[in-house]
């Protein structure tokens, strides 16, 4: 049984009230027996008085309240919540393929994948986070699932500008497909190291199968040294209904950069979701050619 919120505080308050009777000498004999000395080591005894008990209880109360505060700051769901707050900001997050294979604590050649800390970091920035640990899935099928979840939020009155879909690596490739599956020019998207240089998961084929061009406000982020992922410009050609920007980081960690919730990319995800990320007005993503009038920016940064 779990005790939450006001119920937990009430129980602790009653406990403190009962402990106060120990100071007044009104304790039941059984309670006085509980306060007697307990054995410690060989022949040594330690006496636990009422003051010690009160301090221990207060420490538990502070810990419990801190835990409740953390839970309240971190609204993380595996699916669209049953109760939808139309004024909240919702952020979908999709992990990389390594989590499909090994689970949320995956360990690979790029190091430890920190899936849950990433969700917590996003929730701590004020978002209602929707994410699940996927089993192996086809990117097109999952993109349509996310599109249906977004449709539920929209039907409940959540503004399109309050919805952001994000993904890392394979999750980023799914995000690219959601731009067409959702088809809303005001929904925001962030693709992180999600446009594979070899298109292993067939993003191009998925876009063709959907039969609709991408729409929305799309940000792509990748590290210049990444050998697996690069620019998304070949999929996201800016047109009416589609805004595409790209951030090329010079951190030097490649694909591994997105395994952990680093401020260098996390801050930009948040700024984009809130419509606050400023971009240069000129230049194009590497290899974009002349057909894509989107904006890129190169950022040199170090992470600890």
What does the H/E/C string look like for 152-201? HHHHCCCCHHHEEEEEECHHHHHHHHHHHHHCCCCCEEEEECCCECCCCC
Position 14 scores a pLDDT of: 38
| Distance (Å, whole) CA 117 – CA 121 | 6
Position 238 scores a pLDDT of: 82
Top-confidence range, 12-21, 34-43, 248-257: 248-257
Confidence of residue 278 (pLDDT cuts 50, 70, 90): confident
| Distance (Å, whole) CA 76 – CA 178 | 21
Using CB atoms within 10 A of its CB, is residue 49 exposed (0-12), middle (13-18) or buried (19+)? exposed
**Phi and psi at residue 208, in whole multiples of 5°?**
-65, -40
| Distance (Å, whole) CA 185 – CA 159 | 12
| Distance (Å, whole) CA 220 – CA 179 | 12
Spell out the domains of the chain, with CATH numbers in brackets. 5-72 (no CATH), 83-300 (3.40.50.1820)
Distance of CA 114 to the CA centre of its chain: 10
Q: What is the mean pLDDT of residues 47-61?
A: 49
Q: Which residues contact 125 (CB under 8 A, 6 or more apart)?
A: 266, 270
Quick: pLDDT tens for 227-269.
999 999 999 988 899 999 999 999 999 999 999 999 999 999 9
SS3 assignment, position 34: helix
Using CB atoms within 10 A of its CB, is residue 227 exposed (0-12), middle (13-18) or buried (19+)? exposed
């Amino acid at each position: 049984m779990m005790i939450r919120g006001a119920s937990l505080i009430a129980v602790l308050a009653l406990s403190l009230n009962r402990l106060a009777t120990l100071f007044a000498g009104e304790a039941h004999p059984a309670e006085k027996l509980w306060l007697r000395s307990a054995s410690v080591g060989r022949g040594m005894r330690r006496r636990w008085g009422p003051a010690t008990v009160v301090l221990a209880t207060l420490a538990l109360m502070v810990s419990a309240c801190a835990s409740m505060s953390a839970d309240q700051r971190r609204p993380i769901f595996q699916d669209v919540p049953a109760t939808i707050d139309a004024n909240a900001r919702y952020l979908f997050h999709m992990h990389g393929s390594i989590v499909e294979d090994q689970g949320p604590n995956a360990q690979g050649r790029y190091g430890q994948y920190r899936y849950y800390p990433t969700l917590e970091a996003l929730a701590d920035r004020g978002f209602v986070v929707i994410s699940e640990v996927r089993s192996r899935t086809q990117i097109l099928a999952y993109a349509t699932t996310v599109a249906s979840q977004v449709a539920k939020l929209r039907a409940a009155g959540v503004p399109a500008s309050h919805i952001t879909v994000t993904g890392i690596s394979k999750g980023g490739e799914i995000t690219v497909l959601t731009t067409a599956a959702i088809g809303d020019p005001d929904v925001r998207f962030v693709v992180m190291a999600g446009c594979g240089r070899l298109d292993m998961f067939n993003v191009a084929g998925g876009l063709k199968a959907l039969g609709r061009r991408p729409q929305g406000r799309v940000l792509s982020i990748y590290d210049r040294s990444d050998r697996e992922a690069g620019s998304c410009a070949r999929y996201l050609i800016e047109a009416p209904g589609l805004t595409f920007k790209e951030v090329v980081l010079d951190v030097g960690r490649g694909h591994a950069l997105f395994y952990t919730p680093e401020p260098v990319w996390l801050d930009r995800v948040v700024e984009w979701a809130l419509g606050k990320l400023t971009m240069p007005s000129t230049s194009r993503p590497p290899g974009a050619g002349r057909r894509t009038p989107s904006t890129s920016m190169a950022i040199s940064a170090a992470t600890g």
